[in-house]
Chain A
Amino acid sequence: MIRVLHVDDEPDILHGVKAYLEDEGMEVSTAGSAEEALAMVQSSEQFDAIIFDLRLPGMSGDEAVLHLHSRYPEMKYFICTGSMDFDATPNMKSAGLSQDRVFYKPLKDMSKLAAAIHRDVKKCGTDS
């Protein structure tokens, strides 16, 4: 089962995505801030993928991605943001954040996010 952590400061958004991905057969945890997410990862919880919002209280999503990627390179990182003009910096790209892992809110079709997670996590699973 694919384990996903979704980080967003809006509980209703977390709720919606969680419901959808769970219907897709994933195990979804949620966090309201980057700090909370870091704590969850460090307390030896295992995730295949983490979805970050960019604008978060405290540490921003992209900072958290860079931070986590240096320690957990095998985890897949996704962005789901409300700002249209987000561009992956070269740093972010080296953290595996290609443009097809960036999603813009509102997600008109959550199946695309689900498909991307399936694609990236599965590929990894068959590799290892």
Chain B
Amino acid sequence: MNATAQSSIPSGLPGVVNLWNRFKGGLTFRLQVGLCVVTSVLIIGFGYYDYSSAQKDWNYQLTELVDRVSLRIATASAGPLWSINMQQVVETIKSEMSDENLLAVEVRELREDKGGVFVTMTRQHDGTVSLTQKFESRSPISRMRMISYEGHDIGTATVHVTNAGMKRQMQTIFRQILIRIIVVNVISLAIIWLIMSRSRRIEEENNELRRHLQNIFNSMPSSLLAMDSHAIVTQMNRQAELMLGNTLDDSKGEPVADVLTIFPQAVPLIEEAAKTGQALQHRLEKTDDKGVLTHYEIHVFPLENALGCVVRLDDVSMRVRIEEMMIQNEKMNSVGMLAAGMAHEINNPLAIIAQACQNIERRLSDSLPKNKEVAELLGVDLLQLNRYLTDRQIYTFLENIKNAAARASNIVQDMLAYSRKSESRFAPCDVSELVDHAIRLSEGHYDLKKKYDFKHIEIERRYDTSVPPVACDKTKIEQVLINIIENAAMALMQSASVRPPRITISTKGAEGVVRIEIRDNGPGMDETIRKRIFEPFFTTKPVGVGTGLGLSVAYFIVKEQHKGNIEVESTIDVGTRFLIELPIDPRKVGSP
């Protein structure tokens, strides 16, 4: 309770003080105070001039008045004074005191016997003039004149005036000055306030616009970097900050070469663009410490009037991949057409070779009764003959022919997979079952020559059982999986890694598709190999082991026949990951 009471008091106060301090410190405040002082001084100056000239005027007028009135009274009252006609003197004075500013008139006698005040007339507060004993108060201006009668000075007439009128006018002038100061200051303050609030509004609008532009700038998916004509960085957006690992505050004012440290190749491009005034575009490649290659596209746009440049950097890895894939597709289509036509024609001669081999083998063996029969008829010892054939390696040659025919037949079979007639075999398949079957088949493909053995490889399955059945050609998709799993197994056997070899196969349902991922922890491959693995006949394996068709067939089956997607990611010494994406219903996928 105490705390709240304590805190509630200062909480309001600092607010006001702050506001006041801000206001006091502001330009507006100083401007206003200055303006007030200047106008006030000016108004006071002019007012003082008015004031003093009015005062001079008054003094002059009053002096002139006393001069004039005293002269007239002195003249007019000479006779009556001589004859001591007091009544007439009073009348004369009265008639001369019509002017409001005349305060009193005093007529004195100068005779030896009877000296002293003869008549004193004073203006009362109500403005009337009456006879008084004497005039005591002092007046600012008075005038005494001799009253002479026939050459003799017989008395004096003194006229006093009041400066009350002058005071009144002075007060009026003073009031006017005050009013002017107030009015002028109020008006000027109001005008300043209006101008200020208008400029504040403009400033706010400017701020708003700046924020908006900054927002637009930052929302760009590209990295943007602006620099002046001396290649000094002036602006960069958030994307650029992220890409370059640098903040705008750190980079502003720095030479662009110091900011684009990860793209030293970009600097000469910027210089060239700035020099020629022509926009430039260039592809850059960058491998990070994990060996992952990223493709960048740099655009340099010179600003108008050679005021600098804007640099745009985009990560175009995705686009580059798609381009690669499209080239791949083209290749596959032409190869596919050729292969499908050729394969069938090759199968017949291969059949003849294979059959002939089998017949030769069988007809040389001594177990077939017919062989014995014919041999006996011709007087040939079959056992001797077999010894001869073995010694002269005829059986080895025969075996070679058989193997070669089998190899050729495998190639042809792979090539035949390019034939487009597949849709007719599409049927809904359970993905987990399909993958399991493919794993079983590849395990069964244990091949001495290919030197891989599933006994040493751990196969981890992670199936998403909620995946709906996928419409596909089961045997073809199995072939794809087998090709990939066999590659992984062979890669694992090659690597002398300390890791226990492992293949992880996972399935996952996503929107309208199912993803099958096959990951191995083998040796991986570098970028130049990765780019080419889907090419028909591309292989890194020795002749007779690899045909280089496995992945190109997989590619064809997934992409062309199932309208799906197949991608590979690989990192040297870490492993390889194939990702297959099959539409759950390929009929819903637009034909290319």
Contacts and interface: CB of A to CB of B under 8 A. Distances in A.
Interface of A: 10, 12-13, 16-17, 19-20, 23, 55, 82-85, 87, 104-110
Contact of A84 (B350, B362, B413): B413
A87 B424 CA distance: 9
B344 interface: yes
B354 interface: yes
A105 B413 CA distance: 10
B92 to A, nearest CB: 153
A30 to B, nearest CB: 13
Contacts of B425: 87
Contacts of B348: 10, 13, 82, 105
Contacts of A107: 351, 354-355, 358
Closest 8 CB pairs of A and B: A16-B355, A82-B347, A106-B351, A105-B351, A106-B354, A106-B350, A84-B416, A12-B352
B413 to A, nearest CB: 6
Given A87-B425, A106-B350, A106-B409, A16 B356 contact: yes
B557 to A, nearest CB: 12
A19 B363 CA distance: 9
A104 B413 CA distance: 10
Interface string B179-215: 0000000000000000000000000000000000000
User: Which of A20, A84, A106 has its CB near the most chain B CB atoms (within 10 A)?
Assistant: A106
A20 B413 CA distance: 24
Interface string B327-356: 000000000000000011001101111111
A108 B409 contact: yes
B419 A13 contact: no
Given A85-B416, A87-B424, A87-B425, A20 B351 contact: no
26 contacts: A10-B348, A12-B352, A13-B348, A16-B358, A16-B359, A19-B363, A20-B355, A20-B359, A23-B362, A83-B416, A84-B416, A84-B419, A85-B416, A85-B422, A87-B424, A87-B425, A104-B347, A105-B347, A105-B351, A106-B347, A106-B351, A106-B354, A106-B409, A107-B354, A110-B355, A110-B358
Contact of A16 (B352, B370, B405): B352
Contact of A13 (B351, B363, B370, B424): B351
Interface string B373-404: 00000000000000000000000000000000
Contacts of B370: 23
B368 interface: yes
A83 B419 CA distance: 10
B138 interface: no
A126 B424 CA distance: 38
A82 B353 CA distance: 14
A55 B424 CA distance: 20
B406 interface: yes
Interface in B207-242: none
B422 A108 contact: no
Interface residues of B, number: 28
Contacts of B413: 84
Nearest to B362: A23
Contacts, number: 72
Contacts of B416: 83-85
B351 A82 contact: yes
A7 B150 CA distance: 185
Give the dominant DSSP class at A's interface. loop
B421 interface: yes
Contacts of A13: 348, 351-352, 355
User: Which of A17, A104, A105 has its CB near the most chain B CB atoms (within 10 A)?
Assistant: A105
Contacts of A19: 355, 359, 363
A115 B578 CA distance: 41
Contacts of B422: 85
Contacts of A23: 359, 362-363, 368, 370
Contact of B352 (A10, A84, A108): A10
Contacts of A82: 344, 347-348, 351
B285 to A, nearest CB: 41
Nearest to B417: A84
Given A19-B355, A107-B355, A110-B358, 8 more contacts: A12-B352, A20-B355, A82-B348, A84-B417, A84-B419, A105-B351, A106-B350, A106-B354
A48 B431 CA distance: 42
A1 to B, nearest CB: 14
Nearest to A55: B344
Contacts of B409: 106, 108
A4 to B, nearest CB: 15
Contacts of A105: 347-348, 350-351
Contacts of B419: 83-85
Contacts of B347: 82-83, 104-106
Nearest to B371: A23
Contacts of A12: 352, 356
Given A23-B368, A82-B348, A85-B421, A108 B354 contact: yes
User: Which of B352, B417, B421, B422 has its CB near the most chain A CB atoms (within 10 A)?
Assistant: B352
B364 to A, nearest CB: 12
Nearest to A17: B355
A108 B406 contact: yes
A20 B362 CA distance: 8
Nearest to B359: A19
A71 to B, nearest CB: 28
A82 B408 CA distance: 13
B87 to A, nearest CB: 159
Nearest to A9: B348
B365 to A, nearest CB: 10
A19 B352 CA distance: 12
A12 B405 CA distance: 16
Contacts of B405: 106
User: Which of B347, B351, B413 has its CB near the most chain A CB atoms (within 10 A)?
Assistant: B351
Nearest to B473: A85
Contact of A106 (B355, B362, B421): B355
Interface string B409-431: 10001001101011011000000
